[in-house]
Structure 1
Amino acid sequence: MQPIVHPSRLANVAEPLRDDEIHVWMLPYDRAERRRPLLALLAAYLAIEPSGVMLREGPYGRPALAPSHRSTLDFNWSHSGDHALVALAHGIAPGVDIERQRPRPNALEVARRFFSSDEVTLIADAPSTRRAQVFLDLWTAKEALLKAHGRGLAFGLDRLSVVAGPASLALRRFDGEDLDHWQLQRLALGHGFAGALAWRGAARQVRLGRLASIA
């Protein structure tokens, strides 16, 4: 998916979303707008006005389309700083996370409190100049997995383990889950952000695009 640079073309971004695809959009975000960018993007995929998008929350707070839409479309979104990510797919529940890259002098301390022991070792063994990046790679991967799982952070960050390599992410442990049923991908976001996408199900083509505006 090529970047979309013309802000008036939001209505055209919802090109056919095939059952073997996941669309991921990176877009500008202002906290004051709350869910407006998300609703606008969902409306484009549903071919309705944003005011007609109805959401419900699951038992652990994950938003989803209300049953009244009678759609197989599912989504997840995340925001950090002035950018957001929205993942959309049919028939699966994607999980996505974005985090702004910045110095994190307490990365190892946070990992020791919340991560698995092998992840702590991975961070501790990283060069000091790489520690914050390794931490973010693991954090975004774990967040994406837990959001796709449906329980979110309530499930426990230490109940799954991820290995972050220079070019890929690998799931090594997920309590109560069959690892063969899970997919995990790093997202090449650029612009000083780290991101990850996860879902339970067969491999799919991930199409990543950028919106200059949701106006």
Structure 2
Amino acid sequence: MTAPRFEVVLAVADAIAVLVRPMPDGRAERDQIAQTALREATQRDDLSIYRRPSERPALRHPYHELGVSLSHRTDLLLAGYSPHSAVGVDIEVEDINGFDPVAFAADHFSPKEAAAVAALDSAAALEICYRLWVAKEAALKISGRGIFDGLDEPDLAAQLNLLRTDGATIHLGTGSRLPPIALAVTRLAGAADQPIYCALARDMR
């Protein structure tokens, strides 16, 4: 297997997201390579990842227990970290096999977000749908429930211009399911003309 490469792809306040590619098979191996990548990126050799009884990844003392988040797709792993606050990350690879962003948005996003996606041309609709998708999943991981209650919150319809800008920080106030958070999204080149979408969210309490 090719040796994994580490790249910091996003930063929000003191939080970072590191992309690992290619990632190893197996959860224990993924956790280990994520720990190695985060140690290298932060120069913190005492950073240690373990799994809570719920299977959620966590950090050992002296760092914030929920200051780590992991997400993987295909052979890609995204690891998020903050020393002082809960974080969430998400990664998706663009589907070139008939994914319908307008239908997906109508089924899963808020009405205003769905309307915004439907008003765009096909290429723009596809991109903004994926940006919304990863942003929402990353944010909702902070709550500990993930997407269990759906993807309608946070409603990012008023933030679409910032969401289109790679690495731009979006600040959101307290919602019914989330504390105040800051998040950022980026779109990266992927294999076979399939862009990679990454998001990082940080609890700002």
TM range (shorter): 0.7 to 0.9
Residues 1:185 and 1:34: Cα distance change in structure 2 (over 3 Å):
same
Higher relative contact order (CA 8 A, sep 6+): 1
Report the equivalent of 1:186. Answer: 185
**Alpha-carbon offset, residue 177 of structure 1:** 5.8
Whole-angstrom distance in 2 between the partners of 1:85 and 1:111: 24
For 1:2-81, what aligned pairs fall within 5 Å after superposition?
A: 21-30=14-23, 32-42=25-35, 45=39, 47=45, 54-58=50-54, 62-65=56-59, 69-73=60-64, 74-81=67-74
Instruction: Tell me if structure 2 keeps the 8 A contact 1:99–1:136.
Output: yes
Residues 1:53 and 1:171: Cα distance change in structure 2 (over 3 Å):
closer
Q: Over residues 107-133 of structure 1, what are the superposed CA-to-partner deviations in whole Å (9 max), with x where a residue is unaligned?
A: 211221111001101110111122211
TM-score of the two chains, using structure 2 as the length reference: 0.72
Report the equivalent of 1:89. Answer: 82
Unaligned runs of 5+ in 2: 8-12
Residues 1:196 and 1:41: Cα distance change in structure 2 (over 3 Å):
closer
TM-score of the two chains, using structure 1 as the length reference: 0.69
Residue identity (%): 23
Q: Does residue 106 of the first structure (1) align with residue 127 of the second (2)? A: no
Report the equivalent of 1:17. Answer: none
Unaligned runs of 5+ in 1: 1-6, 14-19, 203-215
Residues 1:176 and 1:164: Cα distance change in structure 2 (over 3 Å):
same
Residues 1:9 and 1:86: Cα distance change in structure 2 (over 3 Å):
closer
The amino acid across from 2:176 in the alignment is G
Whole-angstrom distance in 1 between the partners of 2:83 and 2:16: 10
Whole-angstrom distance in 1 between the partners of 2:104 and 2:178: 27
How many residues in Structure 1 have an aligned counterpart in Structure 2? 181
Whole-angstrom distance in 1 between the partners of 2:152 and 2:17: 27
Residues 1:120 and 1:173: Cα distance change in structure 2 (over 3 Å):
farther
For 1:147-186, what aligned pairs fall within 5 Å after superposition?
A: 147-162=141-156, 163-165=159-161, 166-167=164-165, 168=168, 170=170, 175-176=175-176, 181-186=180-185
- Pairing partner for 1:197 from 173, 181, 200: 200
DSSP 3-state at the match of 1:159: coil
